[in-house]
Amino acid sequence: MSILKAKSVELPNGKTITFKRSKAPWIILVLLICFYYSVQITGFDMQVLAKRIGQFWVIIGDMIPPNWKYLNKLWQPLFDTIKMSLLGSILGAVFALPLAYFASSNMIKNKSVVAAFKFILSLLRTLPTLVAALIATFIFGIGTMAGTVAIFIFTVAYVGKLLYEQIENADLKAFEAMHSMGHTTISAFRCAIMPQIMPNYLSNAIFCFEGNVRYAAILGYVGAGGIGLMLNESLGWRNYANVGMILLLLVVTVFIIESISEYFRKKLM
Amino acid sequence: MNSIEKQLLNEPKRIVQNVITAVILLIFIMWSLTAVDLSNFTSNGLAIAKNILLGIVTPNTDLLFTFNTNGVPYLLVETMAIAFLGTIVGAILAVPLAFLSASNIVPKPIAFLVRLFLILVRTIPAIVYGLMFIRVTGPGPFAGVLTMALTSIGMLSKLFVDVIEDLEVNILESLESIGCTPFEKIRYGIIPQLSAMFMSIVIYRYDMNLRDAAILGLVGAGGIGAPLIFAMNGYKWSEVGSILIGLMVLILIVELISNKIRNKLVRGY
End-to-end CA distance of chain A: 51
Query: In degrees, to the nearest 5, what angle opens at C-alpha A115 toward C-alphas B65 and B244?
Result: 30
Residues A59, B132: C-beta atoms closer than 8 Å: yes
User: B13 lies in which domain range?
Assistant: 3-33
Find the residue in A nearest to B144 (Cα): A42
B222 occurs within a structural domain: yes
B127 occurs within a structural domain: yes
Looking at residue B222, its pLDDT comes to 76
B236 occurs within a structural domain: yes
What φ, ψ does residue A137 adopt, rounded to 5°?
A: -65, -30
B255 occurs within a structural domain: yes
- Whether B206 and B262 have beta carbons less than 8 Å apart is answered as no
Residue B50, domain CATH? 1.10.3720.10
What φ, ψ does residue B132 adopt, rounded to 5°?
A: -70, -40
Looking at residue A25, its pLDDT comes to 82
Are B12 and B88 in the same domain? no
d(CA A235, CA A246): 11
When CB atoms are compared, the residue of B137, B140, B247 closest to A52 is: B137
d(CA A221, CA A235): 10
Q: Suggest the residue from A20, A27, A42 to mutate for an interface test with chain B (most B CBs closer than 10 A).
A: A42
Distance from CA of A203 to the nearest CA of B (A): 15
Q: What is the pLDDT along chain B (269 residues), one digit of tens a residue?
A: 688 888 888 877 788 888 998 899 899 888 888 777 666 666 677 787 788 888 777 777 777 777 777 788 888 888 888 899 999 999 999 988 888 888 777 888 888 888 888 888 887 888 788 888 888 888 888 888 888 898 888 888 888 888 888 888 888 888 888 888 888 888 888 888 888 888 888 998 898 888 888 778 777 777 788 888 888 888 888 888 888 888 888 888 988 898 888 888 877 76
Q: Where are the beta strands (DSSP E) in A3-130?
A: 8-10, 16-18
Residues B218, A80: C-beta atoms closer than 8 Å: no
Contacts for B53-59: CB closer than 8 Å, 24+ residues apart:
B54/B237, B54/B241, B55/B237, B55/B238, B55/B239, B55/B240, B55/B241, B55/B244, B56/B240, B56/B241, B56/B244, B56/B245, B57/B241, B58/B238, B58/B241, B59/B238, B59/B241, B59/B242, B59/B245
Looking at residue B117, its pLDDT comes to 87
d(CA A127, CA A153): 9
Cβ burial, residue B244 (10 Å; 0-12/13-18/19+): buried
B161 occurs within a structural domain: yes
Looking at residue A2, its pLDDT comes to 46
The list of chain A residues with pLDDT below 70 reads: 1-6
Q: Is the peptide bond before A65 cis (omega within 30 degrees of 0)?
A: yes
Are B78 and B153 in the same domain? yes
List of chain A residues whose C-beta atoms are within 8 Å of the C-beta of residue B38: 140, 145
Ramachandran area for residue B2 (φ above 0: left; ψ -120 to 50: alpha; else beta): beta
Spans of all domains in chain A: 2-63, 68-268
When CB atoms are compared, the residue of B28, B37, B81 closest to A144 is: B37
Q: Hey, is the C-beta of B164 within 8 angstroms of any chain A C-beta?
A: no
Find the residue in B nearest to A127 (Cα): B248
Are B113 and B184 in the same domain? yes
- Fold classification of A68-268 is MetI-like fold (1.10.3720)
B229 occurs within a structural domain: yes
d(CA B77, CA A58): 32
The total domain count for chain B is 2
CA B71, chain centre distance (Å): 26
Residues B31, A83: C-beta atoms closer than 8 Å: yes
3-state helix, strand, coil in chain B (%, to 5): 80, 0, 20
Give A19's DSSP letter.
Answer: P
Q: Choose among A107, A109, A122: nearest CA to A193.
A: A107
Q: Choose among A10, A62, A247: nearest CA to B135.
A: A62
Q: Return the number of other C-beta atoms located less than 10 Å from residue A93's C-beta.
A: 23
Are B28 and B58 in the same domain? no
Q: Which amino acid is at A110?
A: N
Are B74 and B197 in the same domain? yes
